[in-house]
Amino acid sequence: MTITFDEIPYDLRKPGTYVEVAPVYDRKSGTYGWPARAVLLVQKLSTGSAAAATIYRITRPAQGASLFGAGSIGDRMVQAFKAANKTTDLYAIALADKGDGVQATGTFVFTGPATAAGTIAVHVADHRVTVGVAASDSATTIGAAVAAALTAVADLEVTASATTGTVTVTAKHKGEAGNALQLAVNPRIDDVMPAGVGCTVTAMSGGSGNPDVTTLLDAIAAEWFTGAVTAWTDSTSLAALAAWAAERYTAMAHKDVKIYWGPHGTFGQLGTLGGYTNSPHMPSAPGANRSASPPWAWAASLAGIAEAQLAADPARQLRGLALPGIAAPASADRFTEEEQDLLLHSGISTFEVDTDGTVRLDRVITTFKTTSDGAESDAWLDITVPATLSRIRYDWRAHTAATYPRHKLASDGSPAAEHSPTVVTPQKLHGSWAARCQVYERNGWIQDATETVGRSSFERDADDRHRVNSIQRVKVMDNLIVLAGRLEFEV
């Protein structure tokens, strides 16, 4: 064997004992650490200190309000992610509202006067604001009190004003996001409207004009992020995000990223949203109708859970994990099992609700539904598939870079490969792949490694003497998602 050194000159004549120290990676038994790093793509208010299209590292939930403004989309997304995940390295980057955008509005129209004292509970998104009512209070008095109480909540997503008995709430942000904010009066089963008082609620609507997400994507193009969370779900934004994620997944870019987004709406609206993209890199938050928690909070919460759990084990499904702080829709607004199954065929994830109202993930899927020629396919359906393949690719690249950093290339059977530790052959590379696959199989990321390694191949390129081409087969680990049984009884 010819021994070579990186630090000791080959023609050194000075007497002495010289020892260089270097790690050897060819027998590394574990995988290389996955550098999970998430970024929130958010909208900011003028009250936030953040500069537009500038990346900020987030370590505390309170940074959301200071950077992006209290009650902003960015504020809520930071809080939702941090409630679900306190350890993953988190960043955020924001845009101000689109200049010619329009703010969504809604109303609470009160009637009176009250004939008895009582309390009104006004809900804006998942904020509950209670207002005391005295006997004989007029509609005008009640409206003014409600507007004042809403205005006093700094992190509310809306502003409020009153004219006679009509309270108009206006989204703090311009854009479509404000349309998703839910309004309600006395929604709980034990809420009681004061005698003589009535209220008609008009849902938020009219918001339009989202910022251009490509401005943010250009700003973070060179950065490594494993997860990005979007506040925008319009077709233009989702298409741009899908194209950006696809480009980052290519062999020449290898900056794999998952785009988390939050679809909200009726069953029909969710089906439309799921059809906007056909991407293996876009896991959706569970589709919900009339949840008090806004869709960007659902997306950030899912990202917090998924980025932590998939870093620990990319092949393990997320079913049963809770989304902390996320409000479940009322029972009447939840989808039936048949509707949930149809949503899972439309690129929309699903959820379940505990008796105490806790929202739990059911099946988290991507928007991938068909091949490039339009044939139905479930190849990239579950979030675990692209997550596992990203992890394997990252580990293989790290392993080969560490094991063969400056190696020469020879053909199989070369005497140089037998005697020199700095010469590699296609057969040696195939052996390294087999060893790594054993690690992946022990981790439960892949299955049938003996078979797939046998169907993998490494060969020298016919035209480029410095290149090896390979086909590396794996079979991603399955998950127990459906257990179908036939229970027979004897008669």
Supply the pLDDT for residue 103.
Answer: 98
Closest CA to 318 of 284, 354, 276: 284
Supply the pLDDT for residue 17.
Answer: 80
Supply the pLDDT for residue 368.
Answer: 98
The pTM assigned to this predicted structure is 0.94
Supply the pLDDT for residue 148.
Answer: 98
Beta partners for residue 97, in sequence order: none
**What domains are defined for the chain?**
1-30+407-491 (no CATH), 37-98+210-385 (no CATH), 103-205 (3.90.1160)
Supply the pLDDT for residue 360.
Answer: 98
Q: Left (φ > 0), alpha (ψ -120 to 50) or beta: where does 457 sit? A: beta
**DSSP states of 276-312 as a string?**
T---TT-BBPBPBSS-SS-HHHHHHHHHHHHHHHHHH
DSSP strands (E only) in 127-197: 127-133, 158-163, 166-174, 183-185
Positive or negative: CA dihedral 307, 324, 349, 264: negative
Closest CA to 462 of 416, 411, 423, 415: 411
CB atoms within 10 A of CB 443: 18
Task: Give the pLDDT confidence of 120-143 residue by residue, as tens digits.
Answer: 999 999 999 999 999 999 999 999
Task: Give the pLDDT confidence of 388-431 residue by residue, as tens digits.
Answer: 999 999 999 999 999 999 999 999 999 998 888 899 999 999 99
Sequence-distant (≥ 6) Cβ neighbours of residue 433 within 8 angstroms: 396, 453, 456, 458, 470, 472
**Percent of the residues in the chain that have a pLDDT greater than 70, as a whole number:** 100
Supply the pLDDT for residue 1.
Answer: 56
- What value does the mean pLDDT take over residues 100-108? 98
DSSP label at residue 50: P
CB atoms within 10 A of CB 432: 19
